[in-house]
Amino acid sequence: MSASDVDVDSDELDKRVTEWLEEKIIVAFAAQRTAYESAEATIKARNEYWYGGKGATGRLQNVSDIFLQNLTTRLCELADTQVALTTSLQQYAASLHGLADAYRQTDNLIADRFTNINRGFDEGV
């Protein structure tokens, strides 16, 4: 077994984990949050569309209120779920960073051991 057999580029692993989180998760959550904010703005506007004015849906006001309350509740539940997912992903990322650190320490330990073994051979031990 040579040092190259156990070599793990922990900096590259760390970089890839960070890139993955930024590209796949953070961007997707940002888009999702924008959608939530748009829906929330629609709910808060309560313009004539919701009350049936100007040829719109014709919903009664209390039905509109119930619908909007349900929609708001669902959006809040989704936002809570997103917060929980974000927290879990942050913990996962911290674990992956810890793994990269452990690989780095292992690489250093193995390199030291190989150095000591080579010194022993050089000294005729």
Q: Which residue is it, tokens 């156990």?
A: 6
Terminal alpha carbon distance of the chain: 20
- Residue of higher predicted confidence among 44 and 86: 86
Its pTM stands at: 0.43
Token duo for residue 114? 């190989």
Report the pLDDT value the prediction gives residue 1, as an integer from 0 to 100. 45
The values of phi and psi at residue 114, to 5°, are: -65, -40
Characterize 44-71 residue by residue with b for buried, 16 or more Cβ atoms within 10 angstroms of its Cβ, and e for exposed: eeeeeebbeeeeeeeeeeeebeeeeeee
pLDDT at residue 107 above 80? yes
